[in-house]
Structure 1
Amino acid sequence: MPLRAASVVSWHSYWTEFRVRLQKDDSDDKVIIDRQLLTKELSTAVQKQRRGEARQLSSVRFHVTAHSRRQQASDKRKRIKVVRRQADLLPAVVMKPVGSPTLPRYTLIFLHGMGEVAMRYADRPHYFHDGSAAIKVIIPTAPLREVSCFDTWWSKVKSRDAKGGRWRLEKFNSWYDYISNRGGRKEDAIDIDSLHRMQQSLHEIIAREAEELGGRSERIILGGKSQGCVTALDAALTYPKRLGGFIGLVGHLLSCTPVEEDGPQINTPLHFYHEVEDDIMQWHWVSKMERRLRSSNYNVRSFRGKDPEGNGHFVGGVEGAWIRKSLRMICDSRSG
């Protein structure tokens, strides 16, 4: 099937212009600052890539059956079917700027949080674009999988049968499988193999996008929110070529992610945003992970602030403000 046509979305962005002028009079010279609120119209092409309509984003295969249940599958009395499928990472949202041929080109690969899907960003292009750079944004969807720490969560599937439906283990859109659920008190144990599968998938996407940019991997920026931040950071720090930057929201560095001395990303700007009332990625242990990067002399910029809407870990509109701020800083520093 052909790709779904992109829809051009336009909106107004508000910005403030300040002008400084010197006013001379008989008694004294005065510095006058004029402030003017202006608007500019921005546009981007938003394409929704659904299953069956677009090429797959990844060729990697992975298990959707929870690690805890795969361990039990050898006991035939359990009758657990171990399912392996391709990580197509669809549906996905792709945003391309419109009418900006003179601006430097970049690609941002952004990963949503656990339990979310890419389509939640389809009507939020303003989270990523402010007109300062021509940024292509790729937002894939995490695989729908069983999660080990929730392997007792069952729900009944509706059926027309008078006897009722069957029971099914709950599944989650999750970039990797969690072995533990420690309620935010400390880092959870994870299934390393499932993380490595996503790492391979993201490396494929990075390489393909770098090829479109003439081999310039330093024009690729990775980012993500919550579990998406964790996964994107792991992919960035394990990628063999220099990247343009990283933007992580309410996430952390995994203890299993390697931090190489003088690795390819040693000078890559790594931006982190933490919510002060976050009770899921709690600062007392997240900060230790961040210090691991600093102690190895990585280029870390970290900010802690409150979500004005009071959402804590599940940040609202401030998510877009944080992303745009970092994109301006990263793209300005790499212009040319």
Structure 2
Amino acid sequence: MQDLEYIELETAPGPTATVIWLHGLGASGHDFEPVVPELGLPEDAAVRFIFPHAPNMPVTINGGMTMPAWYDIKAMDIDRIVDTDQLMSSAGSVGKLVDREIERGVPAEKIIIAGFSQGGAVAYELGLSYPKRLAGVLALSTYFATAKTIQVSEANAEIPISIYHGSFDPVVPESLGVRSVETLKAMGFSPTYQTFPMEHSVCLEEVLDIGRFIRKHVL
């Protein structure tokens, strides 16, 4: 569990809420930084956005090439064989950022964990297992990699979860998004699920809905 480097952006002084947003494989915290002005948040909303950079590590499916990754992916079959220990370690590292936000005065229940693709798998693990009540989880074009091993905390047993997926996603098939919804419902959660006619990316309609999620749960 290591300390992560990150980008920090505040929409106004004295933030009262935080969104920690995790990028996908091979990307960086800069990936979603431009999205903030497109969320349609109120002008007076004071939200701190934290975009961590994943550590560099060899990734098996990319020929062992070293790149930013939250965990190793060993096979790209439908079940995604991943290094669960590395995923959980990354969740712990992001959890340290949550701890820090609480120390800075932002209540846990005003902190949202968001993640795209690999980052979304980490967001599931952290958001559902964190010991204090969080505001919500945003899962973008991702999959629930630790569904069989996660230890759901009592505090987050009813955490709001919004899931988004591209119906033409060639990287993370939409079937994995649907499976996440079914699994979460079987575990007692009530996730919302939306698809968009896109590939492995985000679109403006999705971004605007994320903005509505933020307004509803932390503003």
What TM bracket, shorter-length normalisation?
A: 0.7 to 0.9
Give the counterpart letter for 2:179 in structure 1: K
Question: 175, 183, 206: which one pairs with 1:284?
Answer: 175
Q: Is residue 93–residue 121 contact of structure 1 (8 Å, CA) maintained in 2?
A: no
Structure possessing the higher radius of gyration over alpha carbons: 1
Larger relative contact order (C-alpha < 8 A, sep ≥ 6)? 2
- For 1:97 and 1:265, how far apart are their aligned partners in 2? 27
Asked if residue 293 in structure 1 is aligned to residue 190 in structure 2, the reply is: no
Change (3 A) 1:197 1:118: same
Match of 1:149 in 2: 61
In 2, Cα distance between equivalents of 1:206 and 1:323: 20
Is it true that 1:320 corresponds to 2:212 in the alignment?
A: no
Q: Which residue of 2 aligns with 1:197?
A: 89
Query: Is this contact kept in 1: 2:20–2:113, CA < 8 A?
Result: yes
The match for 1:54 is none
Q: Secondary structure at the match of 1:223?
A: strand
Match of 2:111 among 216, 220, 240: 220
**Can you give the 5+ residue segments of structure 1 that lack an aligned partner in the other structure?**
1-59, 61-86, 153-169
- 2:163 maps to what in 1? 272
- Are 1:248 and 2:139 matched, yes or no? yes
Q: Is 2:41 the partner of 1:130? A: yes
Between stretches 277-286 and 105-114, larger displacement belongs to 277-286
Q: Deviations over 1:46-85 (max 9, x none)?
A: xxxxxxxxxxxxxx3xxxxxxxxxxxxxxxxxxxxxxxxx
CA-to-partner distance for each residue in 1:274-333, whole Å, 9 max, x for gaps? 1111122222343122211112221311111224xxxx112344453242132123235x
1:220, distance to aligned residue in structure 2 (A)? 0.9
- Residue 145 of structure 1 and its aligned partner are, at CA, apart by 1.0
**TM-score (norm: length of structure 1):** 0.59
The structure with the largest strand share of the pair is 1
Name the CA distance, whole Å, in 1 between partners of 2:18 and 2:104: 10
State percent identity of aligned pairs: 24
Residue identity in the other structure for 1:120: D
Hey, which of these two has a bigger chunk of helix by percent?
A: 2
Cα RMSD between the aligned structures? 2.3
Mean Cα deviation higher: 242-251 or 275-284: 275-284
User: 1:213 touches 1:219 (CA, 8 Å); kept in 2?
Assistant: no
Distance 1:258 1:328, change over 3 A: same
TM-score of the pair, normalised by structure 2: 0.88
User: Are the aligned partners of 1:127 and 1:323 in contact in 2 as well (CA < 8 Å)?
Assistant: no
Instruction: Write out per-residue CA displacement over residues 82-135 of structure 1, whole angstroms, 9 at most, x where no aligned residue.
Output: xxxxx3422x21111226x6xx82110000111111123444431446226321
In the alignment, which residue of structure 2 is the partner of 1:163? none
Contact 1:266 1:299 in 2 (8 A): no
Moved beyond 6 Å, runs of 4+: none
Match of 2:76 in 1: 181
Query: Is contact 1:129–1:135 with CA below 8 Å preserved after alignment?
Result: no
Query: 2: CA distance between counterparts of 1:259 and 1:127?
Result: 35
How many residues get paired? 217
Counterpart residue number, 2:29: 118
